[in-house]
A and B are shown apart, each in its own frame.
Chain A
Amino acid sequence: METFGILIVDPARGACCSLPYPAAAVWDLLSRGHSTSKITTMMQYIGGFPDAGTAESYVADCLLTWANAGWLRRFEEGEVGV
């Protein structure tokens, strides 16, 4: 956690990525196990989004971007992990 965002680090890949606000908040909420719908509701306030739909799109974009960059991966059914 940094003053103006979050620095995420993947030692296995030797990769790091600096997340500014409001994306930093999405990462924090996600990493602590909040559901996507809860994150969307909270991000409406945190990001000052005008409506739920805009917040939902923003959260979905974050997740897609991070998944494409290898920061997130969807667990298969029955798979155990963090």
Chain B
Amino acid sequence: MEKPPIFAIPILDQWLVHSPLHEVTALVNSSALACLRTASFEKESTLAELHAELSAAPIHLPQVKQGPFDPKFLAIITTRGCNINCVYCDFGGPTSARVHMNPALAVEAIDWMAQRLVERGRTEFFLHFFGGEPFISGELVEIVVHRTRAMCARYGLKPVIDVSTNGVFNESRANWVGHYFDSVVLSFDGPPEFQNRNRPANGGGSTFEAVSRTAERLSQTPVELCLRVCVTGESVQRMEEITTWLVDAYHPAVINFEPLTENDLTSCSDLHGADPYDFARYWMAAKRAADRCGVRLVYSATEPGAPRLSSCPVGSDAVIISPDGHVNGCYLQPQDWLKHGMNMELGRVTLGAGLEIDSYQVEQVRKLITDKPRCRGCFCQFSCSGGCHVSNTYNGCSDDYVAFCLQTRIITACLLLEEMGCSQFVDALLADQTAMQRLATHSWDPVDLGTPGAAKGLAA
């Protein structure tokens, strides 16, 4: 990276100056922005101070991983099959065969991972279950959890185990999950009219009661409960109400609202994505409702934390094992990558031989997260990082912002403003459609700062 980028984003008649790599954000008027760009300010003024902070060496310098393969995270896809029939499923759940991973392959992967972690002096073993629906491979999940805990006990590692699940299982299973897992991401689209419309049982029946029971049971256990809600055009205006209801009924630690990604399946079901401006507006209302209850409300593209080049495991040397033993760098299925000319396969698990990792492929997958033409002018490039590398910012995608970008830009700006204590600007922005559009569609955020001494003149 040549020079850490400084961004200026229009907020009503002001400008949000933001440098994620310096952890600096300021709200300035147009004159002040012009002064920063020409370095025209008095010594020891506020603008001089801001200019100096933005010109200093950055605190963060996110980079593509280099060196030997260095996994910190193991994900096991126990099966691609599923016990319900979500109309928007991107992971093949409703149509995939219920083929379960051979437990011996899972054990090979766990043992290999534990040894790598110990060799690198790590102290935690992060394990994630994914599907399909992982718990239709219930015994396999039990084997994997216990084998992981046994290996962690042997090597003095702390197990950190989580799962993404639809929650359609019995109370006994819920109780076990609540005590053996650290966190559960439970997909739950809200009241029956949304849950049953979007996430029906096989055959079309209701899943609401089963998932509600699971959420209630989990909320009575030590596990961190995250309720993940897919927001559609039908539910977007009810996000605040859904938030309050979820908090009262299930006491989650986290609520995660993600917008529906339209695909062929959703078209067949006449299910449509939310308007990005509505999503941003109602997400912020929901966030404030959640904040009042002490619950964390998240949207994956704006997760706080250090600047990053990827908002998912791709590029982080994550080890994601598919049911047939392929080791991939992404949760999606091979046909999803291949149609965009990508190959996320990193290697294979072989019985008796552990994991064989292809170092050339590791380098290729690491590089996939960089150089996103669509993101070059966007101030969210170190937070949302382009979203899904496979379905959103794949090589050859349009350079123009899409709905995902528009809502992400608005929400990110609002969160930065709230962090600065400028809630009144958030209110005014969200009430002004034209101002929201100006911010959302602003195609080039980076600005150059002038060099002090090169120009003389204006006071701050």
Give chain A's interface residues, CB within 8 Å of chain B: 1, 3-5, 20-22, 24-25, 28-29, 32, 38, 42, 45-48
Min Cβ gap A46→B in Å is 4
Inter-chain contacts of A24 with B (CB < 8 A): 146, 149
Contact B147 A45, beta carbon cutoff 8 Å: yes
Inter-chain contacts of B150 with A (CB < 8 A): 21-22, 25, 46-48
Min Cβ gap B18→A in Å is 41
B100-138, CB under 8 A of A: which get 1 and which 0?
000110110001000000000000000000000000000
In the bound complex, how far is the Cα of B146 from the Cα of A20, in angstroms? 11
In the complex, which residues 145-167 of chain B have their Cβ closer than 8 Å to any Cβ of chain A?
A: 146-147, 149-150, 152-154, 158-159
Given the contacts A42-B139, A46-B143, A46-B150, A1 and B107 also touching, CB distance less than 8 Å: no
A-B residue pairs, 7 tightest by C-beta: A21-B150, A25-B146, A4-B153, A46-B146, A21-B153, A45-B103, A45-B143
Contact A46 B158, beta carbon cutoff 8 Å: no
Supply 5 A–B pairs (Cβ within 8 Å), ascending by A.
Answer: A21-B146, A24-B146, A25-B149, A45-B147, A46-B147
Query: Interface size bucket, B side?
Result: 20 to 34
Is B66 interfacial (CB-CB < 8 Å)?
A: no
Inter-chain contacts of B111 with A (CB < 8 A): 48
Identify the interface centre among A1, A46, A47, A48: most chain B CB within 10 Å of its CB: A46
In the bound complex, how far is the Cα of B152 from the Cα of A47, in angstroms? 13
Is B245 interfacial (CB-CB < 8 Å)?
A: no
Contact B142 A42, beta carbon cutoff 8 Å: yes
In the bound complex, how far is the Cα of B146 from the Cα of A1, in angstroms? 12
Contact A20 B147, beta carbon cutoff 8 Å: no
Min Cβ gap B60→A in Å is 32
In the bound complex, how far is the Cα of B49 from the Cα of A56, in angstroms? 72
Contact A45 B104, beta carbon cutoff 8 Å: yes
Min Cβ gap B177→A in Å is 12
B175-215, CB under 8 A of A: which get 1 and which 0?
01001100000000000000000000000000000000000
Contact B176 A3, beta carbon cutoff 8 Å: no
* Nearest A residue to B173, CB-CB: A32
* Nearest B residue to A21, CB-CB: B150
In the bound complex, how far is the Cα of B159 from the Cα of A40, in angstroms? 24
Given the contacts A42-B143, A46-B143, A5 and B153 also touching, CB distance less than 8 Å: yes
Min Cβ gap B74→A in Å is 16
In the bound complex, how far is the Cα of B176 from the Cα of A42, in angstroms? 16
Contact A4 B152, beta carbon cutoff 8 Å: yes
In the bound complex, how far is the Cα of B106 from the Cα of A65, in angstroms? 30
Given the contacts A1-B179, A32-B176, A42-B142, A21 and B149 also touching, CB distance less than 8 Å: yes
Inter-chain contacts of B158 with A (CB < 8 A): 3
